[in-house]
């Protein structure tokens, strides 16, 4: 029995309406209401009765759970499945599946700055024989066969700094940014070039592909504004520009996870923008990044994705989720290039369904077009 036999048939009426809603910010034609992207990953598996480990170890099951959960909660009609360390196995790291976490590295493989000069950057043919690329193509092949209306191939740069740092150990990498700047910068560029080669391989198979790239380790809790730009934003630009030149894109999702209180001011002038870009910033200090601030800075260049604090999603208080979502919606819903309601980062695996309902209900009540 295949995983598809575990789920009821897809509701095509819902999918048709949700697809128009998903497209509305990019075609400048409001439809239905403001969309909700709760960045659902392993919560989709948990809510269907499976485990976090199932989500990552059985990606076809995991991505079908995402599709089912999106319909159940009335979210985006797309299936996305990812984790924070794509491409690192091809650079030498070993990953280990865990019961309560995405796959993690078993430990750094380089210890000296001079080791970075020995790194081999795999080209697209080598990536085809690796672990990451065949897995993504296997997943998308499953979606094409079983959930074709939800297929959005995605090329991941994800956390360019954080993934690269795993190769030498995160603490070691942070120290290098002060003492071995040349090696630290080369390390991130090598990882970024690998991700570009992966994007080329996916584009060869699927044509255009959405790009997801984030600044996670590179944030104001760890680095100065200038360091975030140098290590993260400049490499995000390299990834998107390089992936575009290889045929990927044009949709881009910029995910600035963590605290970006002041470095966001350097972001707008540092990266590549397309007409199909979404900008999402998680936190301003310890608070969700205000939608008013997001709109003010980015509405002229991208769709804005506002946030509800992920911590609220596991708090038994749906009204708190609803109220914060309402405030964010009212502040950002008239952004020039559209607005999406989300959470500050991945929806926690054990998010309470009542809180997810509160998030969507706020979008239904305050993200409705025509009554503003």
Residue range 153-179: mean pLDDT, rounded:
96
d(CA 35, CA 18) in angstroms, rounded, equals: 8
Task: Give the number of C-alpha atoms closer than 13 A to the C-alpha of residue 19, restricted to the C-beta side.
Answer: 13
- 309 with 324: CB under 8 angstroms? yes
Residues 6+ apart with CB under 8 A from 217: 159, 161, 162, 165, 170, 232
d(CA 140, CA 137) in angstroms, rounded, equals: 5
* pLDDT value of residue 29: 87
pLDDT tens figures, 206-262? 988 899 999 999 999 999 999 999 999 999 999 999 999 999 999 999 999 999 999
Find the helix or strand (DSSP H, E) in which 357 lies: helix 353-366
d(CA 191, CA 119) in angstroms, rounded, equals: 10
pLDDT tens figures, 103-139? 999 999 999 999 999 999 999 999 999 999 999 999 9
- 164 with 94: CB under 8 angstroms? no
Residue range 283-304: mean pLDDT, rounded:
97
- 43 with 349: CB under 8 angstroms? yes
| Torsion angles phi and psi, residue 277, rounded to 5 | -110, 140
Predicted confidence band at 52 (pLDDT cuts at 50, 70, 90)? very high
CA-only gyration radius of the chain, Å: 20
pLDDT tens figures, 85-110? 999 999 999 999 999 999 999 999 99
* pLDDT value of residue 372: 55
| Torsion angles phi and psi, residue 76, rounded to 5 | -70, 145
d(CA 63, CA 139) in angstroms, rounded, equals: 7
Q: What does the angle CA 209 – CA 259 – CA 347 come to, to the nearest 5 degrees?
A: 55
pLDDT tens figures, 264-288? 999 999 999 999 999 999 999 999 9
The whole-chain average pLDDT of the chain stands at 96
- pLDDT beyond 80 at 306: yes
**Which letter, b or e, does each residue of 276-310 get, where b requires 16 or more Cβ atoms within 10 Å of its Cβ?**
bbbbbbbbbeeebbbbebbbebbbebbbbbbbbbb
| Torsion angles phi and psi, residue 9, rounded to 5 | -60, 150
Predicted confidence band at 263 (pLDDT cuts at 50, 70, 90)? very high
Tell me how crowded residue 221 is: count the other CB atoms within 10 A of its CB.
12
Q: Which two tokens stand for residue 265?
A: 């001011």
323, 346, 337, 240: which is closest to 294 by C-alpha? 337
- pLDDT beyond 70 at 370: no
- pLDDT beyond 60 at 146: yes
Residues 6+ apart with CB under 8 A from 371: none
- pLDDT beyond 90 at 369: no
* pLDDT value of residue 1: 79
The number of residues in the chain equals 372
In order of 112, 159, 218, 310, the CA distances from 255 in angstroms are 31, 9, 11, 14
Residue range 145-155: mean pLDDT, rounded:
94
83, 28, 250, 84: which is closest to 152 by C-alpha? 250
Q: Which two tokens stand for residue 150?
A: 């939800």
């Amino acid at each position: 029995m295949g995983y598809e036999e575990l789920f009821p048939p897809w509701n095509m009426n819902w999918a048709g309406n949700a697809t128009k809603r998903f497209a509305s910010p990019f075609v400048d034609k409001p439809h239905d209401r403001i969309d909700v992207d709760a960045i659902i990953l392993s919560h989709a598996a948990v809510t269907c009765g499976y485990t976090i480990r199932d989500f990552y170890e059985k990606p076809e099951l995991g991505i079908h759970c995402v599709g089912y959960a999106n319909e159940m909660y009335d979210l985006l009609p797309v299936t996305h499945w990812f984790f924070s360390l794509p491409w690192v196995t091809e650079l030498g790291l070993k990953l280990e599946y865990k019961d309560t976490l995405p796959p993690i590295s078993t430990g750094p493989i380089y210890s000296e700055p001079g080791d970075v000069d020995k790194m081999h950057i795999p080209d697209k043919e080598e990536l085809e024989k690796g672990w990451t690329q065949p897995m993504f193509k296997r997943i998308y092949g499953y979606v094409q066969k079983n959930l074709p209306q939800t297929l959005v191939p995605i090329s991941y740069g994800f956390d360019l700094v954080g993934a690269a740092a795993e190769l030498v150990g995160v603490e070691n990498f942070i120290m290098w940014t002060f003492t071995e700047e040349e090696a630290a910068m080369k390390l991130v560029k090598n990882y970024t070039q690998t991700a570009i080669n992966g994007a080329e391989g996916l584009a060869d198979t699927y044509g255009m592909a959405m790009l997801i790239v984030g600044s996670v380790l590179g944030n104001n809790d760890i680095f100065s504004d200038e360091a975030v730009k140098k290590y993260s934003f400049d490499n995000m630009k390299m990834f998107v520009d390089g992936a575009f030149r290889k045929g990927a894109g044009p949709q881009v999702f910029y995910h600035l996870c963590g605290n970006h209180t002041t470095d966001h001011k350097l972001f707008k002038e540092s990266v590549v923008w397309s007409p199909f870009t979404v900008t999402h910033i998680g936190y301003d200090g310890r608070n969700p990044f205000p939608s008013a601030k997001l709109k003010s800075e980015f509405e002229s260049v991208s769709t804005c994705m506002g946030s509800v604090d992920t911590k609220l999603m596991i708090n038994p208080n749906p009204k708190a989720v609803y109220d914060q979502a309402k405030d964010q919606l009212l502040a950002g819903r008239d952004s020039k290039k559209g607005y999406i309601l989300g959470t500050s980062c991945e929806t926690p695996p054990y998010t309470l369904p009542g809180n997810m309902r509160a998030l969507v209900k706020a979008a239904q009540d305050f993200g409705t077009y025509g009554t503003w």
